[in-house]
Chain A
Amino acid sequence: MTLTAPAEPATPPRTAPARRLRDRLSPYAYVAPFFTLFAAFGLFPLLYTAFVSLYRVELQTPGDMEWRGLGNYTALLADEFFWTALRNTFTIGVLSTVPQLVMALGLAHLLNYKLRARTFLRTAMLLPYATSVAAATLVFAQLFGRDFGLFNYVLGLVGIGPIDWQNGTLASQIAVSTIVIWRWTGYNALIYLAGMQSIPSELYEAAEMDGASRWRQFLHVTLPGLRPTILFTVVVSTIGATQLFGEPLLFEGSMSGGISHQYQTLGLYLYEQGWGFFHLGRAAAIAWVMFLLILVLVGANALVARRRNRKEAGR
């Protein structure tokens, strides 16, 4: 601005303050649409949910709001189903996130080499992600069928008795996790691949000169270089795992996550309370607990990352 000012002496001095004001305000005007939308569709529902969570509200009679204070929250503490859902969310989260990210790393590492049909393979990685949850889950639900499912058929060939993928606790959680893994591995692999390509190739060349195997290169060049990317995927996957909903809902089409709630996640429990039993107040409380949970998890992640970075810097 200061550089161009002398070049335009013709500008009437009168308009200068107005223009300066405009210049100062225009960035805000540019970002305003986002924040307006965010306020309307992000912030307001968030606050309203907090408000509703303090009342007893039923969807069928939304006019009768009965003040409960923190009652909905304290009720959750004594609610066996809530704890089951929390535990399930955690175990399914671990069962799906850990193998998913490990496999994505491996795939990305392979795709990073010069391969035939590399572009095709990279595009193919995204296909599961592009499939809708509903379609994928419907197919997997058939594959995991107890009596006529493909997985049990194959297991039967090697002499393993039919597994009840719907009703077993671990079995059902593995089945749900499988769908998640199938959908998201390729997506994460592409993110890793992008991260890997920003690692300078000289590092690999130097490692190769030193006689490092590909595995050693992966451990000592790729992994450290990818740390910020890995952190990012961990955070995103954690958020995704905490909110897991579509896969368990459609797996059997039951809001209760199986006959014994064996794979009911927090998201599903929220849905069951709100849209199955119409207890909007309780559902709102669960939503807020989930929100806080995510904040804590993401915060913990950031903390760990910061400490590592500091350690690294100090080294």
Chain B
Amino acid sequence: MTTARAARRRTALRLGGVVLAGTLLAACGSGSGTSLSDTAGGKVTVTVDLFGSFGYEEAGLYAEYEKLHPNVKIKQTDTQDEADYWKSLQTRLAGGGGLADVQGVEVGRIASVTQQQADRFEDLRKYGAESLKGQFAEAKWAAATAKNGEVLALGTDVGPEAMCYRTDLFAKAGLPTDRTELSKRWSTWDGYLELGKQYKAKAPGKSAWLDSVGSLFSIMIGQEKERYYNASGELIWETNPALKTAWDTSVEASEAGLSAKLDQWSPQWNQAFSAGSFATIPCPAWMLGYIKGQAGEAGKGKWDIATLPGGSGNWGGSYLAVPKAAKNKKEAYELIKWLTAPEQQAKVFAKQGNFPSATAAITKIAGTTDPYFSDAPIGQIFGHAANTAPVQVLGVHDQNINQQITNALSEVERKGLAPQKAWENARKGVANTLG
């Protein structure tokens, strides 16, 4: 499970890495000045520290909230790359200073919060969060609840999965372009690979069927309930048959030459969107905004969305939490309660494409279509996926393990390494990760 929103902006913020070391040091002792709150002029300044684009500012939600609460001022800081954000948040949590009133948490990290750092975040039941439970999709709520029942964060978006494809390239290769027909033809992953082989035979230009086998693996693993850990928290990835299937399918796609061999989130990958280097890309809801950004106006109407082969799944999504060290906890809770309410989630979806985790919002947006994607009924496609996606077992090291496995798959894909050897590399990599 790559960090959805996270990764979305990774390339933009390669730069961030350099200053990171300095930032970490700065964040360590003193706390960054921007995230400190103050109460100047009788107003409470609630600080919000996020990563990627949650879309609140874009959807005008802060302005709206400030209007509703004249005594509150909201100040947001934003790190584009989630990996950098998480590092810096961990450093500040360890040091106990410089924390904002509201901190964003990616779903791949929420297990770390509930299992390792429950003592660093506010139990939101204190403020009456229990009453919100019915508002959210069950899985979303459960993932942010610690073993002893503490509610440590409120859900924002989720990452229901679908398959995005280029109708113009499909037409040139003589494949059907209708989304209902395609959904039928690739109802299974075998069907998807079969169509891919047909595409390859008549592929226009030098385009490939798929962007990378890494994204294929990640989306397939997103369809599983148990992935790297089982429900009792044991590591099972090496023996998990579902993971093996995802691995084998990815290897098959690679060996059939269906992949454009791109590294997700790399500059090359970004360029490939507008260059038309691949015809399909598995897409969680948050990917839509990314595709629009990379393919640009020229891509409008060339894309479409069909359902995902092999059933529904989830990849990514986020939470909002209030650290124990926050200055304005009460106000922070009021803010995140409002931001994660169905009305606001629906507004963010309309503006940004981040799919809501509040059930009422999902019904509210059911009729949404997206002109960029040939008027695909995104509300219905992603809504169905969100409602039927399995409740995933999350683990502390999900992100890192996924990274090691997709790295190994890239070795197969780009260096022609024997799959057996690559698997061995993945094992060593995971062992190294877990330390």
Which A residues form the contact surface with B (CB < 8 A)? 56, 58-62, 79-81, 132-135, 137-138, 141-142, 145-148, 164, 166-167, 246, 249-250, 252-253, 256, 259-260, 273, 275-279, 282
Contact = CB atoms under 8 A, between A and B. Distances in A.
B433 A277 contact: yes
Given A59-B94, A134-B15, A138-B15, A252 B266 contact: yes
Interface in B215-271: 263, 265-268, 271
Contact of B432 (A79, A145, A275): A79
A148 B15 CA distance: 21
A255 to B, nearest CB: 8
Given A60-B112, A134-B18, A145-B267, A80 B94 contact: no
Contacts of A279: 435
A147 B91 contact: no
Given A59-B90, A79-B432, A277-B400, A252 B425 contact: no
Interface in B83-110: 83, 87, 90-91, 93-94
Interface core residue of A80, A132, A277, A278 (most chain B CB under 10 Å)? A278
A60 B111 CA distance: 12
B83 to A, nearest CB: 8
A146 B212 CA distance: 15
A135 B411 CA distance: 28
A312 B407 CA distance: 54
B24 interface: yes
Contact of A260 (B112, B267, B425): B425
B351 interface: no
A81 B428 CA distance: 9
B277 interface: yes
A61 B116 contact: yes
B400 A148 contact: no
Contacts of B433: 277
B415 interface: yes
Interface of B: 10-11, 14-15, 17-20, 24, 83, 87, 90-91, 93-94, 112, 116-117, 263, 265-268, 271-272, 275, 277, 400, 403, 407-408, 410-411, 414-415, 417, 425, 428-429, 432-435
Contact of A276 (B19, B400, B407): B400
Contact of A147 (B15, B271, B411): B271
B428 A80 contact: yes
Contacts of A147: 268, 271-272, 275, 277
A56 B10 CA distance: 30
Contacts of B411: 259-260
Given A60-B117, A253-B10, A134 B17 contact: yes
Contact of A259 (B117, B268, B410, B428): B410
30 contacts: A56-B435, A59-B90, A59-B91, A60-B112, A60-B117, A81-B428, A134-B14, A134-B19, A142-B267, A145-B271, A146-B268, A147-B271, A147-B275, A148-B268, A166-B266, A167-B410, A246-B17, A249-B17, A250-B17, A250-B18, A253-B265, A253-B266, A256-B403, A256-B407, A259-B263, A259-B407, A275-B20, A277-B433, A277-B435, A278-B90
A106 B211 CA distance: 46
B116 A60 contact: yes
B171 to A, nearest CB: 24
A273 B415 CA distance: 25
Nearest to B96: A62
A259 B116 contact: no
Contact of A133 (B18, B90, B117, B432): B18
B262 to A, nearest CB: 8
A167 B416 CA distance: 11
Contacts of A132: 18
Given A164-B414, A260-B417, A276-B400, 10 more contacts: A60-B116, A60-B117, A61-B117, A80-B428, A137-B14, A145-B271, A167-B410, A250-B17, A253-B11, A277-B435
Contacts of B83: 276
A252 B263 contact: yes
Contact of A148 (B24, B94, B275, B403): B275
Contacts of A145: 267-268, 271
B24 A275 contact: yes
A260 B410 CA distance: 9
Contacts of A278: 90
A187 B411 CA distance: 37
Contacts of A275: 20, 24, 87
B417 to A, nearest CB: 8
Contacts of A252: 263, 266
Contacts of B417: 260
Contacts of B400: 276-277
A44 to B, nearest CB: 12
A60 B90 contact: yes
Contacts of A273: 435
B269 to A, nearest CB: 10
B271 A148 contact: yes
Nearest to B434: A277
A251 to B, nearest CB: 9
Contacts of B14: 134, 137-138, 141, 250, 253
A148 B260 CA distance: 13
B352 to A, nearest CB: 24
A118 to B, nearest CB: 33
Given A60-B112, A147-B268, A249-B17, A81 B414 contact: no
A17 B101 CA distance: 60
B268 A62 contact: no
Contacts of B117: 60-61
